[in-house]
Amino acid sequence: MAREIERKFLLRNENWRGLAPGKAYVQGYLAGGETCAVRVRIAENTATLNIKGATAGAVRSEFEYEIPLEDARRMLATLAGKSLIEKTRYTVEHKGFFWEIDEFHGKNQGLVMAEIELEHEGQVFEKPAWIGEEVTDDPRYYNANLARAPYSEWRHALPPHEGTA
CA distance linking residue 9 with residue 33, whole number of Å:
23
Contact indicator for 135, 115 with CB cutoff of 8 Å:
no
3-state secondary structure of 85: strand
From the candidates 25, 29, 90, 151, give the one annotated as an active-site residue: 29
User: Is residue 29 annotated as a catalytic residue, yes or no?
Assistant: yes
**Residue 107: how many CA atoms within 13 Å on its side-chain side?**
15
Distances (CA, A) of 21 to 89, 113, 138: 8, 16, 28
| Amino acid identity, position 41 | R
Amino acid present at 46: T
For 130, the 3-state DSSP assignment is coil
Active site residues: 29
